[in-house]
Amino acid sequence: MKLYGDPGSGSTRRVFAALYHIGVEFDFELIDLFKGDNRTPAFLALNPNGMIPVLVDGDVVLWEASAINLHLAEKFGSDLLPPGAERALTLQWMFWAAEHWRQGPPALFGERIAKVVMGVAQDPRVIADAEASIRKFAAILDAHLEDRRYVIGNKVSLADFDLAATFTHLTRTHPPYAEFPNVMAWHQRLLDEVPAWARTRDEVEVRMAALLAPPGGAQ
């Protein structure tokens, strides 16, 4: 089994977290977006979108992190995908994460990281729209987490990884999550209690430090 991606990518991180949590052995190939590795004919043959992550498992080639994680959880019988009604609820939150929750944060990544790296001026209207979207959906997640340790009751699931991925660049993109105490407490719980999540956070930070380091070393 081989994962293609980048430890600094929030989407790749969701798959790393599932692989570590389940305890699967896998090979890894770095696809460096800054070097255009995602635009080579070989990579586009795996994912015509030119996006990471991609998982190759025998004859199965999968893109979309949520689909990859569902494949892994089902293949290895992981409790990251609980049975029965909780399975449907896990899927509900995963779809909600894709359709709503993860809309604002990539825009902040574009404005507050990519544009800064490229030396392009930020667009305050894009930032304001992204923050409004984040606040709207964070209020819903915050209310849901009022009396729950994790998104599906008391145990971590794939829904937590899909939702928590937006914390990947927290210190760089500054989404207004601090206004939502239950969301903040839930994310801290994930870091404290789910070693796979904490491990991927550390790997993100190592990768981003290398990517954002000034050329030729610190000034």
- The residue ranges that bind ligand GSH (CB under 6 A) are 9-11, 33, 38, 50-53, 64-66
Closest distance between ligand GSH and the C-beta of residue 218, in Å? Answer: 27
List the structure tokens of 64.
């979309």
CA R_g for the chain: 17
Rounded least distance, CB 98 to ligand GSH, Å? 7
Q: Which is nearer to ligand GSH, 64 or 203 (CB)?
A: 64
Min dist. Cβ of residue 162 to ligand GSH (A): 8
Residue 38 vs 78, nearer CB to ligand GSH: 38
If the CB atoms of residues 33 and 184 are measured against ligand GSH, the closer one turns out to be: 33
Residue placing its CB nearer to ligand GSH in the complex, 7 or 82:
7
- Beta bridge pairs of residue 29: 4
Strand partners, 2: 27, 56
Residue 143 Cβ, how far from ligand GSH at the closest point, in Å? 25
Q: Which residues contact 170 (CB under 8 A, 6 or more apart)?
A: 177
Exposure string of 59-91, with b = 16+ CB inside 10 Å and e = fewer, is eeebbbbbebbbbbbeeeebebbbeeebbebbe
